[in-house]
Amino acid sequence: MLAIKNLQLNSSGKLKHFLSIEGLDKSLLTEVLDTAESFADISEQRVKKIPLLRGKTIVNLFFENSTRTRATFELAASRLSADVLSMNIATSATSKGESLLDTIRNLEAMQVDMFVVRHSLSGAAHFMAEHAAPHISVINAGDGQHEHPTQAMLDMFTIRRVKQQFSGLRVAIVGDILHSRVARSQIHALNILGAQEVRVIAPKTLLPAQVESLGVTVYHDLAAGLKNIDVIIMLRLQKERMNSALLPSESEYFKCFGLSDDKLKCANKDAIVMHPGPINRGVEISSSVADGPQSVILQQVTNGIAVRMAVMSMTMHSNAGTE
Ligand code: NCD
């Protein structure tokens, strides 16, 4: 059988770009988690820096807004001692009509080593990886409704830190699965890492067609779907991606799919509550749950730095050697 070349890996099977969870295997995802573990302490030290990427230049190209993702990528790069250039493209060259390819070529002419890219079009990061100079690594920081692989890995890191392992775990992802690149990456990661069961809980209008083919079981009732669950991942309603009315109202949505203290009781006693942010209090999650003892939402943010340090150092090192 003809093997399809995975653009993410170099000829020795090492991570050259980080574009999607789909197509990676368990040992590589575990290597990301283990590498992140080795970086987690650096942020606790008085001097929060190691010289691993000294002399390297990383460009954050954000064609879409972001707070957490962009800030943690920036901090991760500077904790690895790289030089970082963060560009908000909404106010920059492409808004003057420059093509993505021309933006890439101009930045390459400045001898940069890595692009971290967020774009509203699915496939934008793959396009950049295909067209960038061979020494450049590309990291996907969220492309359209496709994938958000570093978010999924920081979520896996957070789960592993609390629950130790994936086997035997039942995870529920609740809310706007249809528009969520985060959910797509999480579903792949949980299945690859060997979770016992991945459930999606959502109204029919917020689920993609044939979602079961991703390896999930589907529930339309929150209380029933949370039974025996160890990890609950709540998602924001991505209203900016909805081009028609998919919901009656936010208060109706909260009544049916919002995580309140009462609904939380349907899951296992030691279940953790996660959310990639930004959270909308009173829409998908109540304040008492978001700020409560089972919530690990702010730990996810902290862990984002170590995981992004891991992905940056792994891709950069695989590029330095072979290709
Ligand atoms: C997510 C995103 O941008 O896809 N947020 C994030 O990266 N922390 C999810 C969202 O916007 O709801």
pLDDT band at 3 (very low <50, low <70, confident <90, very high): very low
Q: Is the CB of 276 under 6 A from ligand 1?
A: yes
Q: Could you report the per-residue pLDDT of 289-301, keeping only the tens digit for each?
A: 999 999 999 999 9
Q: Is the CB of 236 under 6 A from ligand 1?
A: yes
Strand order through the sheet with 197-201:
217-219, 197-201, 170-174, 231-234, 272-274
Considering only CA atoms, which of 169, 173, 149 is closest in space to residue 270? 169
How far is it, in rounded angstroms, from Cα 28 to Cα 48?
26
**CATH topology of 2-146+304-322 equal to that of 149-301?**
yes
User: Ligand 1 in contact with 17 (CB < 6 A)?
Assistant: no
Enumerate the domain spans of the chain: 2-146+304-322, 149-301
Q: What is the pLDDT of residue 14?
A: 94
pLDDT at 236 over 60: yes
> Cα of 277 to ligand 1 centre, how many Å?
6
- CATH H superfamily, domain 149-301: Aspartate/ornithine carbamoyltransferase (3.40.50.1370)
For residue 225 and ligand 1, the question of a CB distance below 6 A is answered with no
Verify whether ligand 1 is closer than 6 Å to residue 182 (CB atom): yes
Output phi, psi for 56, to 5 deg: -95, 150
Q: Is 183 in the pocket of ligand 1 (CB under 6 A)?
A: no
CA 3 to ligand 1 centroid distance, Å: 33
Contact yes or no for 272/231 (Cβ under 8 A): yes
Tokens of 36: 């992140």
Q: How far is the CA of 321 from the centre of ligand 1 (A)?
A: 33
| Mean pLDDT estimate for the chain | 93
Name the range with the highest mean pLDDT among 66-70, 105-109, 288-292: 288-292
Q: Is 232 in the pocket of ligand 1 (CB under 6 A)?
A: no
Q: Of 122, 150, 182, 299, which is best to mutate to test ligand 1, by the most ligand atoms within 8 angstroms of its C-beta?
A: 182
pLDDT score at 92? 59
Q: Does the CB atom of residue 151 touch ligand 1 within 6 A? A: yes
Q: Residue 319: what pLDDT?
A: 75
Cα distance between residue 280 and residue 290, in whole Å: 10
| CATH code of the region 2-146+304-322 | 3.40.50.1370
pTM of the full predicted structure?
0.95
Among 20, 64, 69, 305, the mutation site with the greatest number of ligand 1 atoms within 8 A of its Cβ is 69
Report whether pLDDT(55) > 50.
yes
Q: Pick the closest to residue 304 from 1, 7, 99, 32 (CA basis).
A: 32
Other CB atoms within 10 Å distance of the CB of residue 145? 18
pLDDT tens digits, 150-208: 999 999 999 999 999 999 999 999 999 999 999 999 999 999 999 999 999 999 999 99
Half-sphere exposure of 226 (CA within 13 A, CB side): 26
237 lines ligand 1 (CB under 6 A): no
**What is the pLDDT, as a whole number, of residue 91?**
58
